[in-house]
Structure 1
Amino acid sequence: MENRSDEFSQKLLNEMNALYSLLLLFFYLITQIIAIYVNFCLVVMVFRTIKDEYKYPYYPLLFLIMFSNVLFVAMTTAIAVLGGLSRIVPALAKSFPVLIMIAISYPTVICVLDFLLCIHRFSVMFWDSEFWSIHVRWKGPLIFLITLPFVVLISSISITYSSLLVGVEIDAFGVGNLPLYCFISDIALKSLLGFLTFVGYVLILLRVAQQNRKVGKFTDFTVIEQAFPIACFQLISSILTVFMHMGVHRSAWSFAKVCLLKYAFTQLLCIVVPISIIIGNQNRRKKFRYFCVCLKPNQVEPANHRVCITMSNNRTSTTETSF
């Protein structure tokens, strides 16, 4: 098994484009740094706002989304650091499959959580369901934990079929067409849940706009503002993933490019999730007034064009300017 893996790595290195690889490495480093920063902001936000927001029925599901995102970034950072400390190139080569395996299952996990959150908000807006409107606080996470082993399993086995496409023989899951079925199920699950979640949030936003216009009733849809960008990104990345797999050819580099691009989508998702959750909630933006990602000073220019007033959350400064 190890010899086959070495042969595949050598075959991949022979076909790799150096410039393409350097660009991907640079992209990975930049996105990883950004992901670490915004997820650090997310952790601080959780500690500052959990007492105020824990009362909402949807918060456990939203917390699981945040926790999964922070956990994934921590794992990938640890693997990259540990791989770089030991014999750099061989260590990174051994860490690469681990990163891919984690990256493959992570978007599906977020997709399932976002879908459950969408069902809860859809139930609140369109029908009176005690299960999804009230008891979702505990039963929603329970449903997720029950489905989690299944999601991770099919996502992990799905990479076996991708490996078989490029001629890498794998004995671990060589049971008939199981890898093919898991591969199709993984893509179909992400695409279907991503589409349903996107449609659900759109219908909720339309219903909220209709109520505000006709009845004049204000409906708080802060959680939708936090989750809807995640659903949009998941839908777009799922569509692109389907088209990428349709264009895969029987070569090591062709397969590697698809895996690397899927991992790039996952890296971007790690940035989209915390930014959406922080920016989508006014209270969280105020809690993070010291982070530049959440605050930009506003400048007001008086009529005499000689004084510029800069307003922030805590201070107001006046400076003389000449025009």
Structure 2
Amino acid sequence: MSVSMGIKGLKSVTAAVLSAAMLFAAAACGTTDSSDTASSSGDASGSSSSSSTKGFDTSSIKKDDEIAALLPESVTKDGTLVVGTDTSYAPAEFLAEDGKTPVGFDVDLFKALAAIFGLKEETVTSTFDSIIPSVGSKYDVGISSFTVTKERLEAVDFVTYFKAGSTFVVQKGNPNKVDSSDLCGKKVAVQTGTTQEEEVNKDNEQCKADGKSEIEIQSSKLQTDVTTAVASGKADVFYADSPVAGYAITQTGDTLEALGEDVGVTPEAVAIKKGDSQTAEAVQKAIQKLMDDGTYKKILDTWGVSSGAIDKPEINPTVE
């Protein structure tokens, strides 16, 4: 969930817009706030989905003994690699049509990592802002479209695997005349705990300092609720990672559209317990192996997000 480089009327909503928004929410519904939900394939090489939403088949990926040996006993002792993720962020991580099975390109990547390590995988659905504080205790790693920031690097170590910008999304035709360079007085929907939320809050402070109308910031735990807010007319615009924005546009029957160009392309990474250099090295080498043998590209191609591919995973990259 990315950092921007600076954040540059309908009286009613048609039934078609509302219907499309509800379809998107149903197809990518997420976790509740009250508890985590675990889902496991039972076998790291197993196929991920029992529903009609299928990702990349990881069944052919074999264990790499040399890479697996890098992991500390604290991770391998129970034979399971546990990941925390917010399954409301399609197409990176979301729930299939059965409402239970985690799918997405991040999910497929995690399954591939577990296969290389020779471990079973367990995906635990949680709220986005609760994952990083729980890495190393509840979860072995966190994979949830985490943008690398200086603040987050103080809490966890990161291994990069993707890059993404941020995109503003409005109803088709931009009926509320949103200008991304001046959001003062607009209703802006964002997901709680994301760097997009941080950026909009900073812009709101500038609006107040300039004596302009404040931004009405609508923060939601789930990205699906953020998307629905704009599709239904509750909000004027939402701000999210570019692949998520693109997927939302297609899944809502093209009732939404991107506003302007993507901004602030930044790395996304796997979150690992701070100071756990063994796991960080193992994850880095496993991702590099997937890149070298072509599996990484196939996973991204499966979900239509190959534009976010990187060539080399880095541990704790330098960020602005």
TM-score greater than 0.5 by the shorter chain: no
TM-score (norm 1): 0.24
Structure whose CA Rg is larger: 1
TM-score (norm 2): 0.24
More helix by share: 1
More strand by share: 2
Higher RCO, 1 or 2 (CA under 8 Å, sep at least 6)? 2
